[in-house]
Amino acid sequence: MVKIGVLISGSGSNLQSIIDSINKKYIFAQITVVLSDRKNAFGLERARMENIPAIFLSKKEAGNNDDFNSKLVEILKNYQVDLVVLAGFLSILNPNFVKTFKNKILNIHPSLIPSFCGDGFYGLKVHEAAIKQGVKITGATVHFVDEGTDTGPILLQKSLEVLPNDTAETLQKRVLTLEHELLPLAVKLFCENKIQFIENGKTTKVLVLNN
């Protein structure tokens, strides 16, 4: 059984979508630990309600980002994690973390990458930028994490129409429904070994296998 570690910073609604999918037998896996860089993140409470180990790790107490990342890696290894899922995790992962879990880190982003992504694009800011730009279509993306910000191989995307009366807040809520659909599917594909990585020079692409 695939063991999953989920990293969060906030309410953990995407974490909940994975928990629900496991409980419904849609995903055959086990979340062995939930980690947060924010002590009061409600996602930790969601984990505790499911008897999943929930750990707050202070960046301030860690001293610097590299030490913080090293501690994250140590905890994830202690819980024998096979797949790391970033479900609204706002801290920066360093190259050592990415190397340790190469091709085993999934992230959900609330736009159609490469639009409205990269440094500074997170949370409501993504949707504010979409509204300001006047785009007609937006969506959500699940991708594997590399050393860049939102630059890793794309696994899944789904779009929706931006409505004339949408605000950043209403758009965020509608895109979140896509996130809750895509992230469990991505985890399911990983757990069922239906993902193939295709290396082409410095570029990596992802192929979803049918069988």
The Cα 154–Cα 27 span in angstroms is 20
- Strands 105-109, 137-144: parallel, antiparallel or unpaired by DSSP? antiparallel
CB neighbour burial string for 11-39, b if at least 16 within 10 angstroms, e if fewer: ebbbbbbbbebbeeeebebebbbbbbbbe
> Is the same domain home to 170 and 187?
yes
Amino acid code (one letter) for 67:
D
pLDDT digits (tens, 9 = 90+) for 193-203: 999 999 887 78
pLDDT (tens digit per residue) in 167-178? 999 999 999 999
Total domains in the fold of the chain: 2
Domain that holds residue 54: 1-101
One domain for residues 116 and 95: no
Q: Give pTM, 2 decimals.
A: 0.94
Cβ proximity of 207 and 196 under 8 Å? yes
Residues 72 and 129 in one domain: no
Same domain, yes or no: 97 and 49 = yes
Q: What are the residues whose beta carbons fall under 8 Å from the beta carbon of 90, sequence distance 6 or more?
A: 9, 10, 37, 122
Looking at the fold, whether 199 and 174 belong to one and the same domain comes out as yes
What is the CATH classification number for the domain harbouring 206? 3.40.50.170
Per-residue model confidence as pLDDT tens digits over 88-117: 999 989 999 999 999 999 999 999 999 999
Active-site residue numbers?
109
